Chain A
Amino acid sequence: MLNEQTTQAKGQAIDVPTGDSTRTHAPQAGQPGEPVNRNKEANHELSIRVRDLNLWYGEHQALKNINIDIYQKNVTALIGPSGCGKSTFLRCLNRMNDLIKSVRIQGLVEMDGRDVNETKMDEVALRRRVGMVFQKPNPFPKSIYENIAYAPRMHDLVGRKAEQDELVERALRDAGLWNEVKDKLHQPGTSLSGGQQQRLCIARAIAVQPDVILMDEPTSALDPISTATIEDLMDKLKQQFTIVTVTHNMQQAARVADYTAFFHLGELIEYNDTRVMFSNPHIRKTEDYITGRYG
């Protein structure tokens, strides 16, 4: 277990697994910040370990002492009111925050035994293993086929044309889009509907065969039916990939996530098994948010 964690941040309360379903309203102050590891049938191998992560936009501190473990081949949902830092946190995991000039990051984000923020770490290599799907579908202004084949070809994952065709088909099948687009692979990606575009972006991400896929509110721009399709897809994809998704929709978190983390004002308030979190949150703030008292 990961209990070498000693420096517990002020005001930070990380849920400690209690094993029973007693409601705990009081913040668990003073408890060692040991992330949850529920007994579940799924596998619990560690994928990304985050310790004492702080992030500033200029003078403004957007993340405060985040400690969290993300497990392989599970769906982890990050919830919280807007501006709480959940997207910012997500973007720390593949260093997309590097693109913003004024950002300063402190703390450990560890993957595969390496600190992703260390200077020796090539952020391109990191992003190769940690893919991302964005809030708004952003297919490239290329054909559907090229949208998917582009990255694997650059990564030398495919050689011959036949291999490439096969990979495109597999990615589209995995993303559940194949049947809809197999006859129009060479039409522009932007000609698809919003939900299809988002699945195209997911197909694009999995074609690179990453370990982790980050999803930043992937369904917020979509209609309910497309949303349901994508949720089913996430459920299927977690067989192969670790998925971390940000959502402002608590029902969605309840439906798709194995673990849920609740962020508020840059702090991680509670992190727990989704079922526990929604049936029996340990912290008052979480409960207030989940029951819709604010947010």
Chain B
Amino acid sequence: MLSNLTLLTFCAVLAVLGLIAFVVARAKALRTRQAGVAMYAQPDQYAWFSVLATAGPAILVGAVGAFVMLLLGAEIPTPYLLAASLVIAAIGLFVGVMQVRPDFHARQAIERVIRLALACAALVSIVTTFGILLSIISEAIRFFQMQSLWDFLTGTTWAPGDSFLAAAGRGGEVESVAQFGSVPLFVGTFIISLIAMLVAIPVGLLAAIYMAEFAPPRIRTLAKPVLEVLAGIPTVVYGFFAAITVAPIIVDFAGFFGLDASYNNALAPGVVMGIMIIPFISSLSDDVINAVPDSMREGSLALGMTKSETIKSVVLPASLPGIISASLLAVSRALGETMIVVMAAGMRPNLTANPLEDMTTVTVRIVAALTGDQEFESAETLSAFALGLVLFVVTLALNMVSVLMIRRFREKYRTNTL
């Protein structure tokens, strides 16, 4: 492996070479200019071009070499690699200084390089998406080689059980067969998200209506930060709140009515998740409602409608696509929310519709599968990637639909407030 010292030496040598390139090229350009020859670019630009010519290829070679070593496992001795790239740097220096000629467009060359670098940065986001997709899919495929896809999607028992023992070559000791039927997880996720939406959509939407239509400016400027603070609270904090404060309250409350509630009931994480999503819904809906042109409101008011009738019959129907789109995004958030459910919902896959019982979600099982000390190759660990794949596909679909809806809404009113 690279020792820090060699790396440091390499960087130092490279920096010195770069400096030499800068000084020499600049001096040469200045000389040429003083000789009275008109040049295409400024001396500094020639200097920078030389620096680029020196460092660029050298770093590129180093990076490619390191990558080849990692990817292909080819053993290239590190000192050789670094020495090679230093040689290339020296050649680059020579070429760069040679290029300091009156008819050379140094500025254009630099800008081509800069443009290329910017474009490469833009590609990082694409690479990330594909990284997520590929990493999840490849592991999920390994999982489905062990378990049937059909059982995964339709099975009603999630019992990874001792599958890690099987992976460790001790399959004989396993008493029960591991089962990966994910239906209980989907149902749990669905119910908790549903509870969250039942809290978040009415409260968030009404708050947005108040902010956009009724609130005097003073309250608006006061309420916005409040909602922003609510939005900025880390989910782990909400999770703690749900587990320590809300869940016992719900248990007591249910007990008061003679109902039996689990401390890991689905209601607590659902409600708290709803609170978390309120600002999300309200700020998006606020934007959408504000994007409805005032001419709509005036048209209705001029017919002798009251303000609320106008809101209900004209403004809300007009902003409906935007509100639905916001709600879909919120659903996608609720589905992927992890910390609140990890801390407040149960671990036990429980196929039930009773929100007072404990149930578990997709994200809880992902975390559970990856935080133990299991072998990475075990079915349980890999099941996390299968669940992740489902989560990715569902949230991506929700997001796409939401984007399409908001785009249609925007085209309708030709506004750009979103």
Contacts and interface: CB of A to CB of B under 8 A. Distances in A.
Please say whether chains A and B are actual partners in one complex. yes
Interface of A: 94, 96, 99, 101, 124-125, 127-129, 131-132, 134, 136, 138-142, 150-151, 154-155, 190, 201, 204-205, 208, 210, 214
A156 to B, nearest CB: 12
B298 A127 contact: no
A151 B314 contact: no
User: Of B305, B306, B317, which is in contact with the most chain A CB atoms at under 10 Å from its CB?
Assistant: B305
B313 interface: yes
A96 to B, nearest CB: 6
Contacts of A131: 302-304
Given A124-B304, A131-B303, A151-B305, A96 B317 contact: no
A208 B303 contact: yes
A246 B305 CA distance: 23
A201 B299 contact: yes
Nearest to A214: B302
**Interface extent on B, as a size class?**
20 to 34
Contacts of B302: 94, 96, 127, 131-132, 134, 205, 214
A134 B412 CA distance: 19
A291 B298 CA distance: 34
B301 interface: yes
Contacts of B305: 124, 151, 154
B34 interface: no
Contacts of B412: 141, 190
Contacts of B300: 140, 151
Given A138-B293, A150-B313, A96 B301 contact: yes
Nearest to A101: B217
Contact of B295 (A94, A138, A154, A205): A138
Contacts of B303: 127-128, 131, 150-151, 204-205, 208
Given A125-B304, A131-B302, A155-B304, 10 more contacts: A124-B301, A124-B304, A132-B302, A134-B295, A138-B296, A141-B296, A141-B318, A151-B305, A201-B299, A204-B303
30 contacts: A96-B298, A99-B294, A99-B297, A99-B301, A101-B217, A124-B305, A127-B302, A127-B304, A129-B304, A131-B303, A136-B295, A138-B295, A138-B296, A138-B298, A140-B296, A140-B299, A140-B313, A140-B314, A140-B317, A141-B317, A151-B300, A151-B303, A154-B305, A155-B304, A190-B412, A201-B299, A205-B302, A205-B303, A208-B304, A210-B304
Interface string B387-418: 00000000000000000000000001000000
Nearest to A130: B302
B309 interface: yes
A142 B296 CA distance: 11
Nearest to B294: A99
